[in-house]
Amino acid sequence: MPNPDLLYAPVFQLDALPCVPNANVATKALYSRLKKWWGSKSLSGSMAQSTVGTESDDFVYALTGLHTAIATFDFMNVTRETQWASWDRPYSELVANAIEWASDGGIVSCMWHWRDPSGATDEFYCKPATDRPTYTTFDVSDIFNPLSEGYSQMMTDIDKVATYLKPLRDAGLPILWRPMHEAQGNRDSQGGAWFWWGNGSGDRAAACKELWRVMWDRMTNHHGLNNLLWVWTNQLTGTEEWYDECTTWYPGGQYVDIIGVDIYADDIEQGRGSQLVQFKKTAHAAGCKKMVALTECGYIPNPAAMFNEGATWLWWMPWNGDFTTSPSYNGDYWPTAMKDSRILNREDI
C-alpha cells in the first residue's frame, strides 16, 4: 500500500468509546478526559525504577515541586517473584502504590517486560537482534496451538498478571495497559525481534497479533478486567515501506485504545525536537483513529516545539535511571517541561 502523505497534518476521527465493550464507568471517564485534553495538552509521565515504586517521580518532585501526571509500573518479575526477591519487592506493593497514586489524583499505567513463559530462562530478550550471552528461544507461534505446552504457559502468565490487575479494578482504578511493547524490533534484514513476543518460527507479526488478541480476550472476557485502556506500541524501523510494516503488525482497532511509539534519539538536539515525523507515522498506523503517545523516550521533547509543530503527544515518559536523573538526558530539564502551561501534571488533573 502507498505511504500516507506526511506533508499534511493527520486528520483524526477518534473512536467514541474504549475498545472493551463493557468498560466500567471510571475507565470510560478516563478515556473521555484523555480525549478532552488531546491536541491541546500533554501529560507528563514517569517510569518506576524498581518496577513497583514511584522513585522516578520522587526525583521529579524534589526538583520541581510537581508530580508527573502518569506513573508507570512494570510487571517484569511477577512470574519470577521468588528468583528475583533480592532485587525486587513483592507485587502487592505495586497494587498498594498504584492505589495510593490514584487516590492522590494521578493516572496509573502498567507495562510488562514478560519473562520467558517456559521458565527455561529468566529472559525476555531473544536472540535475533541482541548480543546477550543468555536469551530465550520461546516461540510465540505456539499461540496458534491451544493444545501446546507453550500456549498453556502463556495463559498461566497472563492469569498471574490478572490477579494483580483485579484489585486495581476493584479499587476503581482505570489502567493504561501497555503489554508486548516494541514487538517488531528491527527489520528482518537487521536481525528482527528484540523480545520473544515478536519472535516466532512462522509469521512473527501474525503470531504477535494473535497473542495480543488472545490476551485481550482472556483479560476482558475470562477475568472481567473492564478497567483497561489498551496501549499498542508501534515500531518504526526506518524502512521506506513503513506504512505496510506498521499496519502489518497492528493488532486492530477493536483491540487498541491508544497507539504509542518509543523514541530514543541519538543526541540531545534531536531528542528535544518534536518528533513530528514519528508522530504522523504512528497516527497513520492506526488509521488516525487513536490518540498518539510517546510511550517511552530518552529525551523529553521541547513542549514549545511539540505544540508549534503539531506533534501533540498525549503523554511522554522518559525511561528510568539516567534517562530521568542525569543532566545528560533530562535531569535538569524537568522544570522546563513540567512548568509549561500546556503540560498537565498530577496537580492539574
Residue range 299-325, pLDDT digits in tens: 999 999 999 999 999 999 999 999 999
19 belongs to a structural domain: no
Cell matching residue 189: 534484514
SS3 of residue 223 by DSSP: coil
> What CATH number did the domain enclosing 141 receive?
3.20.20.80
Q: Which of the residues are catalytic?
A: 182, 296
9 belongs to a structural domain: no
Tell me which residue range forms the domain holding 321: 25-348
335 belongs to a structural domain: yes
- Look at residues 66, 69, 85 and name the one whose alpha carbon lies nearest to residue 77: 85
- β-bridge mates for residue 228, sequence order: 175
Distances from the Cα of 205 to the Cα of 183, 197, 232, 247, angstroms: 8, 9, 13, 10
pLDDT of residue 327: 98
At 104, the amino acid letter reads: D
136 belongs to a structural domain: yes
In the chain, how many domains are there?
1
20 belongs to a structural domain: no
For the chain, give the longest Cα–Cα distance: 54
pLDDT of residue 2: 87
17 belongs to a structural domain: no
Residue range 244-297, pLDDT digits in tens: 999 999 999 999 999 999 999 999 999 999 999 999 999 999 999 999 999 999
pTM exceeds cut of 0.85: yes
Taking the C-alpha atoms of residue 181 and residue 319, their distance in angstroms, rounded to an integer, is: 13
Dihedral pair phi/psi, residue 278, rounded to 5°? -65, -35
Dihedral pair phi/psi, residue 68, rounded to 5°? -65, 150
Residue range 127-155, pLDDT digits in tens: 866 777 889 999 999 999 999 999 999 99
Distances from the Cα of 101 to the Cα of 70, 111, 122, 168, 223, angstroms: 9, 16, 30, 11, 24
Check if the beta carbon of residue 311 is closer than 8 Å to that of residue 295. no
SS3 of residue 221 by DSSP: helix
